[in-house]
Amino acid sequence: MLTLDHASVVADDVDLIRDVSIAVSAGKVVALVGANGAGKTTVLRALSGDVELASGRVCLDETHLSDLAPVELAKRRAVLSQKSLLAFDFTVLQVVLLGRTPHDTRHTEDLDVACAAMQSMEVETLASRPYSTLSGGEQQRVHMARVLAQLSVGQTTGTRYLLLDEPTSALDLAHQHDLLTTARRCADDGVGVLVVLHDLNLTAQYADEVVVMKQGRVIARGAPWEVLTREIIHEAFDISAVITRHPIKAVPLIVPVPDTSTRAKLRKTQKET
């Protein structure tokens, strides 16, 4: 289990997150949702060990992250950030092979893993293309293949965790579902998955647990039917919504109903003051 225990992160005397506790279990998909600036990315960075905690701790299977060697951590925890910049014009295959860096394996095995990862994200036909020539969505899928190769998903390498920060932001409708189906398949293979999402309907369809954040705190957590309610959505996003049953799947379907007149009045009042 990957756990964040009563964690706070402070930057320039501002609390980015306050007393946040989250657990990501092997075999489960946990979706982290909330308005812009709610602290979702900070939580993901805290879980990955990429940000210093003002208080609290983060542990991987009861071992503090700081007690794990970087190579060992890289084999068991992979992170897909919102933006992944490359300083060199690698080919797609070379980018995906970067995920194999922590592994002491033969090059032929690394190639097999990389090719399988590219096939899962439907970028195998782009293998020889320069990364810089790809669209934003194609680049996102390539980096998803890279983190899959890093975790050697499909092989027995111990408990592993996949942290995804808004992985569908640049993807078209079909590839959004393809990527989250892949994440779901990873969980079915025993990987613990944390994914930051903005689309509540994607959240409802793919998450086992939903954690809702507001202003740096967790305000709700539970199964989609328990958490994706009118009251919680209104509290977290300041928007009304109609909640009904998905016509095909046994999950909630969220239909936002923005009160544009109220929000316009609020913006006008803020400008005048």
The domain made up of 2-272 has a fold known as Rossmann fold (3.40.50)
Q: Work out the pLDDT band at 245, boundaries 50, 70, 90.
A: very high
> What's the confidence (pLDDT) of residue 39?
95
> What's the confidence (pLDDT) of residue 124?
96
pLDDT in tens, 171-205: 999 999 999 999 999 999 999 999 999 999 999 99
Q: Is the pLDDT of residue 90 over 90?
A: yes
SS3 readout for the chain: CEEEEEEEEEECCEEEEEEEEEEECCCCEEEEEECCCCCHHHHHHHHHCCCCCCEEEEEECCEEHHHCCHHHHHHHEEEECCCCCCCCCCEHHHHHHHHHCCCCCCHHHHHHHHHHHHHHCCCHHHCCCEHHHCCHHHHHHHHHHHHHHHHCCCCCCCCCEEEEECCCCCCCHHHHHHHHHHHHHHHHCCCEEEEECCCHHHHHHHCCEEEEEECCEEEEEECHHHHCCHHHHHHHHCCEEEEEECCCCCCEEEEEECCHHHHHHHHHHHHHC
pLDDT in tens, 36-70: 999 999 999 999 999 999 999 999 998 999 899 99
Q: Is the pLDDT of residue 268 over 60?
A: no
